[in-house]
Structures are given as structure tokens and as C-alpha cells.
Amino acid sequence: MFESLMARLGKCTNYPGCLLAGRNELIPVADGAPLACPECQHPLIDAGRPGGRKPMAVPIIILGGISLMVIMGAGAVYIQVRRLNLEQPSGQIGTSFEQSEIAGNLHQFLPSRHMETVETRAPVAVAYSQCPAGERLAEVQVQLGLDSYEVRYRSGLPDGLMSMVYFLPAGNLHIDARKAGDDWVILNVPLLEPSTVPPADRVAEWDRAADSQNRPSASQR
């Protein structure tokens, strides 16, 4: 009953001629009653209902809620992006200890891990560790079965040194040797440079390059 009699609140603005307006009091007005000051009969300003919020406060609350949601959404996006960045492994230069140890035992050249991002990479050279430096060249040739493959020799080396390239299906096998008495011994472990080009094409390319180097120039003629 009391809530129905105080359904609304009003405020008088007749400050010069009304005591209630001068006190800035909120005047209760029952539902259905005219919104007028009981003392001076001046129209009242609707001040809302008891215990409720003022009409102007509603838009402010809505805008505040929307702003809070936008801020929370932006914060969630930032946290997710930061989490993804932290979960991605940083670029590592070099290889793991296990990979390096295995490559060392095989005398292989192992590329760094950061090279994995390169679209085209040079093939990994393979060392024939079963043929150590100082072994007789003839024994190495027999051990690796090189008699059936094309071979070319590099020119311009000092006496007592020899460098040759065998054109294997898997690539070019490089062997360097030196004179040791009446025999030849290899200087280092034979190294295979992998290639997908057919051996015949590689031999032809080598011969063309050798011919162009040995062809006399116009001034020599």
C-alpha cells in the first residue's frame, strides 16, 4: 500500500515561491495523481521511482556496459596472441647435440637448423669415413668400386699432388692424393657431392669447361 502511494517522486523548481523547492526535496506522488507540487501547485519534474535509478542514468549504464565488453574483448584477443607467440619455438641456429654427434661420427656436414626455412638448400655432402686419410689410393679405388665410373683429373697441381672426380650416379666423388714413395695415398676422406643430374651430363659439362679453359685466346694465337 505504501509503495503504491509513493509510486513516483517529483521535484519542484519554483524556487522563488515554494519552500519545498528551496529545500530541494523529493516529493512523493501517488500513481494517477497529478504531477504537481502540493504546496504551490507548480508542475513537478519527474525524479523517478523510490529505490530506482534516474532516467538519465540508464543510457550511461548501457554505454558503460558496452565499453566494458569492448575492453574485455580486446584484452582477450591480446592475451591469445601473446600466448600463441610464446608457444611458437624461437628460431634455433645450429643443430641438437645428438645430431651433431651422429654427423661427427659419420664425418658428414650437417646444415644448421635455421637453413630448414630456406626454400632451396644445397645438398649435404657425404664423407666416406671408411677410407681415412693416409690409405693407399689403389685400395680406396678397389674398396669403393670406382673402376666402372668416369673419372676426371684436375690440372695445374704441383708435382706429387693429384685431385680427381668420379662421376657416380649419386653425385661427384672428390678424392685428393699425394705421392708417397712409389705409391699414392689419399690426403683426406673421400667426399661425395650429391647431385640429381645424370652422370653423363655432368661429365659433358666438366669437359666443356675444361675445353674452354685450355682453348688459347686471340692474343695467344
In the predicted model, what is the mean pLDDT of the chain? 77
Give the per-residue pLDDT at 119: 45
User: The dihedral of CA 192, 193, 199, 200: what is its sign?
Assistant: negative
Are the C-beta atoms of residues 165 and 154 closer than 8 Å to each other? yes
pLDDT tier, 95 (very low <50, low <70, confident <90, very high otherwise): very low
Cβ count near 27 (within 10 Å) = 19
Give the per-residue pLDDT at 46: 81
* CATH code of the domain made up of 97-113+123-213: 3.30.160
Give the per-residue pLDDT at 158: 92
What ranges in 88-179 are assigned the alpha helix state H? 97-106, 137-143
**Which residues is 176 bridged to in the sheet?**
163
Instruction: Look up cell 630448414; give the residue.
Output: 116
The rounded distance, in Å, linking the Cα atoms of 39 and 197 is 109
Give the per-residue pLDDT at 20: 84
Residues 112-136 pLDDT 10s: 444 444 445 656 788 898 999 999 9
Proportion of the chain above pLDDT 90, given as a percent: 35
- In degrees rounded to 5, what are phi and psi of residue 72? -65, -40
The rounded distance, in Å, linking the Cα atoms of 37 and 172 is 109
Long-range contacts of 154-163 (CB under 8 A, 24+ apart): 155/210
Which residue type occupies 156? G
Residue 2: pLDDT over 50: no
Are the C-beta atoms of residues 148 and 166 closer than 8 Å to each other? no
Residue 94: pLDDT over 70: no
Residues 3-20 pLDDT 10s: 444 578 888 888 888 888
Closest CA to 99 of 115, 88, 121: 115
Closest CA to 44 of 30, 65, 62: 30
Give the per-residue pLDDT at 148: 92
Residues 161-211 pLDDT 10s: 999 999 999 999 999 999 999 999 999 999 999 999 999 999 999 999 888
